[in-house]
Amino acid sequence: MSKIRISFPMPTYSPPEIEARWQKAWEEADVFKARRSADKPKYYVLEMFPYPSGRIHMGHVRNYTMGDVIARYKLATGHNVLHPMGWDAFGMPAENAAMAIGGHPKTWTYDNIADMRGQMKPLGLSIDWSREFATCDPEYYGQQQSLFLDFLEAGLVYRKNAQVNWDPVDMTVLANEQVIDGKGWRSGAEVERRELTQWFFKISDMAGELKSALDGLDNWPAKVRLMQENWIGESRGIDIPFVRTDDAGTIRCYSTRPDTMRGASFIAVSPDHPVAKSLEADNPDLAAFIDECRKMDTTEAAMEKAEKKGIDTGVRVKHPVYDGVELPVWIGNFVLMDYGTGAVFGCPAHDQRDLDFARKYDLPVRNAFHMPGNPVEVESEALVPAKTETVVYIDHFAGITETTSQHGIDATIDYFEAHDLGEGQTQYRLRDWGLSRQRYWGCPIPVVHCEDCGVVPEKKENLPVELPDDVTFDIPGNPLDRHPTWRDTPCPSCGKPAKRETDTMDTFVDSSWYFARFTAPRADTPTNLDDAAYWMNVDQYIGGIEHAILHLLYSRFFARAMRITGHLPQGCEEPFDALFTQGMVTHEIYLTQDDKGRPVYHLPEDVTDGKLSDGTEVEIIPSAKMSKSKKNVVDPLGIIASYGADTARWFVLSDSPPERDVEWTASGAEAAYKHLTRVWNICDRIGAMDKEASGEGDNDLLRAMHKTIHDVTLGVESFGFNAAIARLYGFTATLQKSKASHKAQREAIMTLAQLMAPMTPHLAEDIWAHQGGAGLVTTAPWPVADEKMLVSDTVTLPIQINGKRRGELTVPADLDKAEVEKQALATQAVQKALDGGSPKKVIVVPGRIVNVVI
RNA sequence: GCGGGCGUGAUGGAAUGGUAGACAUACCAGACUUAAAAUCUGUUGGGGCCUCGCCCCGUGUGGGUUCGAGUCCCACCGCCCGCACCA
C-alpha cells in the first residue's frame, strides 16, 4: 500500500532574509554607537584597519569577525564598547593604479573605500560607523601635520642624509619592494643607492624605554615582545678610538667583544664611512669598490646574504694595547653605517664572518682565548662559546685568565676606561625612523624651504597642507616636484618666495596614531584629551603577525611622543593593553600548464573534484596564503550570497585556533551552513512543542547547558574560538537528542542563541525572537553558569603503570589521596602488573591521574 | 644570513607536564527513500595475538630532563613570518 505524503511548506533557514532584517534592526536601535557613561566600564576593541584595495578578502573576514566576537561579548557583559573602523588609505598601490590604468589616486581610493564598505556591511559587524575616517581625508592628515609640527618643536624630528634606491632610467626613488634582484621593477635598470636629505623621528632616543616597557605588556604574545626586544637590540659594549698611524685622527669602532682584542687583525669600515669617502677621490680601485657596494640592495637581508667582500685602504691604525702592532683598515661591504660607529675591528678567531673574511684576504688569525684544557688555535671554524661559558684568556692585558666571556668583557671595558682607551656604551640596534617618501599619495610634510630662513614649519592656521588634485602620473617620479603652483609658496617666516617640501610621509605615520583619533574622530585638534582619557587604551588590539615589529613599535613611539606634546594623557604610553595576532586564511592552489609549459592557475570555483569543467586534471599545491596571483582566493561576497554571513563568520572561527592559519575548504563552509540550519531547525521544533509538555532529562540538559556556558565564556575570553565552537557543536547535539520538557528545551535553545550570538549574530537574533525573547539578543545580558550545576559527584581517574595507561577508577570526587591510592592498588590491572610484588612508588594527582611505578 | 614561530590520523585540528587524536571534514556501513539528494545513526591512527579482551608501536628526526613529554631542554630537517621605502 502506497503512503500518501503531504508536503508541508516547511519553513527553512534563509540567511539573506534573516540577515537583512536584523542588520536593519540593529541600525534602527543604533546599538553599536559608542557611548560614554559613568555606570558601565568602557571597552575599546580594535582590529588593524584595512588598506582599501577595493575587495575584502577572507583574511579581513577572519580579522573583523574575531574583533566582532569580542565586541559583542563585551556589549553583552555590560560594557560601553568602542569598536570603530577606518581606512589606511595612503600608499603606493593607488599611484600604481593611476599609472597602470589612468585616473587619479584619490578617485581610485575613495571608490575602493565605498566598495569595501559596501562589502563589509553585510557581515553584520558591530561597528560604530559614525566614527569612520580615511587617513587620506584632509581632516585626518591635517591633524597629522599638526602633530608633526609639535614633534618638530619638541625635538622629536630632525633631518639627516640617508640612502634611497634610485632607478637611473625612470629617474625615481624605488621602494625595497620595487627592487627585484637589484633591478627596477619597471625599467629593469640596475638600481643605485643615492643619498638624500630626509626627515627622521628620533625613535632611537627612546630605545631603552621602549625595550624596558615591554616587560609590562603581559597581555601581548611573548613572541611579539621577544621580536621587539631583539629588534631594539640592546647591547653593552665599548667605543674605541683607534689612532691612525698617519696622524689623521682616529677611527672609532664599536665592539661588544673587546675581550677579544688580542685577536684583532683588521679594521673594517662601511663603504659610506667618512674614511672611505675621503680616500675615494684619489684611489680608483677604492672608488670602483665603493661604487660596486652602492649598487647593492639596501635591504638588510640582501646585505647579509651577499658575499663578504673588502678592499684594503692602505690606512693603518695602532693597536690600542700592544705597542708597535698595526692593523690594516679595510672597507667591508658588510659593515652598516647606521649601526654603532660604522666601523668594527675584526677578530677572526672568535667570529665566523671575520674568519671567512680573513681567510679570503689572508689576514692573521690569532686566538684571544681557548677552551679550558684545549689550547688549540682556530683553523676553519671560529671559536664562539656562549658568554656564560668559562674560557682561558691568553696573556690578557687586563690580567684576567680563566673566567667567563661575560666577565672578560666587563673587565676589559673597565681596563679600557681606566686607561682612557675607550668608553663603555650601551648601544641599540634600533635606528631612527626615516619618514620621508618621494611620492605624491601621502601626507605632505608641512614645511617650507626658504633660501634665507632655511627649513621653516608651515603655520598651523595654514593646515592642512592639502595635496593638489591636478596632477598626472604619465611619467615616473613625484608629481609634487613638477607642480610649480603648489610647490611655490611664500616663506611662513619672512614672506619671500620659497618652496614647499615635496616629500610626503611614510604611511606608517598614518597608522601610528589612528587608534587615538578614533576616540574623537571629528575633533579640531588631533585628539580630545577628555575623550582620549575615557576610551584609551585599546583594551584589545587584533591584527596580523606581520605587524609584530614595525607598526606596533612605531605606535608605541607615537603614543609616547603624543604624551610629550600633550596630545595624549598620562598612562597611554603603551596604547594597546592586549594584543592578539591572528593567522592567515589559506587555500589550496590549482595548477595546470599551458602548451608552452607555463603555469596556469585556476580559481577554486572552477575546479570540481580536482578537475576543470572540461575534465582536465589539475595539480593541487598545498595551502598557501590567498593571493590573486595564485588565484587561490575565495570571494567572501560569493560565500555570503550562497550561505550567508553567519556561515562565513562561523567557519573562519571554527576550524583552527585564531593565532594559526585556517584553510578555507568548500566542505568546511558547507558543514558550517548545515550546522546553522540544524540549530535553526531545532529552534523550529521547540517552538512547535506543547508548551506544557513535560519530559525526561531536564536536569541533564540544564547541566550540559551550564557546562557549555562555562566553556564558551572561557573560550571567548581567551581567544579559544575554535574550542568554544566545538563545545557549541556538542551542546547542539545534546539538545537535538533531548527529550526534556518544553520549558527546559526553550531555556536551552535561548541560551544556545546567546552563546552563538557573538559569532552568528543574525541567526541568534532570529532564534531569540522566535522563542519570544525580550528585546534584542545583542543587548541581552550574557548568561552566567551556575557553579552548582558544574560540579559532579564522582570522577574517573586513569590509572597508569610506569606512565602507560592500564585502567581506570571511578571514585567520589572528594575522596582523599590515601584512599584513592588504596583503591587504585586494588584494581585488577594493578594487581596483575604487580604480580604479588609491591610498587616502588605511587603518584596520585587528585582529580587527574594515578601513576604506579613498578 | 639574522630574529621569531610552527611541525599531531586521509584532512583542518584538540590536549593547565597527567587517558594523544575533542570537535569538524573525508571515507565506509546502516536507517529512511522506487531512487537520488537531504536528514538521522554508527565505524575508522598503524600493527599483532591465545580475537568481544589484551599487547606492541605512534605527535618531523635524533638525544636529554621527569613517576609521567605533543607539551620542557639540546641538536638537526622542513615550512611560514619579519628584516627598517609593501601595507
Mean pLDDT of chain A: 89
CB contact at 8 A, A238 and A422:
yes
Protein A737 CA to nucleic acid B31 C1', in Å?
Answer: 16
Residue A731 CB neighbour total at 10 angstroms:
23
In A416-566, DSSP assigns E strands to 423-428, 433-434, 436-437, 447-450, 454-457, 488-490, 497-500, 504-505, 540-544
Residue nearest to nucleotide B66 (CA to C1'): A803
Rounded to an integer, what distance in angstroms lies between the CA atom of residue A171 and that of residue A554?
Answer: 30
Q: What is the mean pLDDT of residues A457-461?
A: 95
Q: What is the mean pLDDT of residues A464-487?
A: 92
**Cβ < 7 Å from strand B, A residues 221-280:** 222-223, 226-227, 230-231, 233
Rounded to an integer, what distance in angstroms lies between the CA atom of residue A368 and that of residue A382?
Answer: 11
CB contact at 8 A, A748 and A706:
no
**Cβ < 7 Å from strand B, A residues 73-102:** 88, 90-93
| A178 alpha-carbon distance from chain centroid | 22
> Which of A66-75, A542-551, A768-777 has the least mean pLDDT?
A542-551
Rounded to an integer, what distance in angstroms lies between the CA atom of residue A328 and that of residue A225?
Answer: 41
Binning pLDDT at 50, 70 and 90, where does residue A721 land? very high
The DSSP secondary structure of A239-274, one letter per residue, reads EEEEEBTTSS-EEEEEES-GGGGGG--EEEE-TTSH
Whether the ω angle into residue A464 lies within 30 degrees of 0, i.e. cis, is yes
Binning pLDDT at 50, 70 and 90, where does residue A622 land? low
Instruction: Check whether A84 has a pLDDT greater than 80.
Output: yes
Give the residue with greater pLDDT, A572 vs A183. A572
Residue nearest to nucleotide B26 (CA to C1'): A667
Binning pLDDT at 50, 70 and 90, where does residue A3 land? very low
**Cβ < 7 Å from strand B, A residues 715-774:** 720, 722-723, 725-726, 729-730, 733, 736-737
- pLDDT at position A2 is 31
ipTM rounded to 2 decimals: 0.91
For the entire predicted model, the pTM comes to: 0.91
Q: Which of A792, A841, A807 is closest to A821 using CA atoms?
A: A841
- pLDDT at position A571 is 94
Protein A605 CA to nucleic acid B39 C1', in Å?
Answer: 27
φ and ψ of A433, to 5 deg: -90, 110
Q: If you average pLDDT over each of A4-13, A245-254, A376-385, A830-839, which comes out highest?
A: A245-254
Q: What is the mean pLDDT of residues A462-491?
A: 92
Q: What is the mean pLDDT of residues A259-286?
A: 91
> Which of A391-405, A623-637, A672-686, A758-772 has the least mean pLDDT?
A623-637
Per DSSP, A323 falls in state: T
- pLDDT at position A522 is 97
**Cβ < 7 Å from strand B, A residues 162-181:** 162, 164-165, 173-177
> Which of A203-212, A355-364, A451-460 has the least mean pLDDT?
A355-364
Instruction: Check whether A630 has a pLDDT greater than 80.
Output: no
**Cβ < 7 Å from strand B, A residues 15-74:** 51
CB of A817 within 7 Å of some strand B atom: no
Instruction: Check whether A9 has a pLDDT greater than 50.
Output: no
Q: What is the mean pLDDT of residues A562-589?
A: 89
Question: pLDDT (tens digit, 9 = 90+) per residue, A15-31?
Answer: 999 999 999 999 999 99
Give strand letter and number of the nucleotide nearest A300 (CA to C1'): B83
Per DSSP, A788 falls in state: G
Question: pLDDT (tens digit, 9 = 90+) per residue, A113-137?
Answer: 999 999 999 999 999 999 999 999 9
Instruction: Check whether A613 has a pLDDT greater than 80.
Output: no
Q: What is the mean pLDDT of residues A645-665?
A: 84
Protein A841 CA to nucleic acid B64 C1', in Å?
Answer: 23
Protein A382 CA to nucleic acid B17 C1', in Å?
Answer: 38
- pLDDT at position A575 is 96
Protein A656 CA to nucleic acid B8 C1', in Å?
Answer: 14
- pLDDT at position A701 is 92
CB of A711 within 7 Å of some strand B atom: no
- pLDDT at position A8 is 34
Q: If you average pLDDT over each of A177-181, A271-275, A515-519, which comes out highest?
A: A515-519
Give strand letter and number of the nucleotide nearest A177 (CA to C1'): B86
CB of A795 within 7 Å of some strand B atom: no
CB of A685 within 7 Å of some strand B atom: no
Instruction: Check whether A260 has a pLDDT greater than 70.
Output: yes
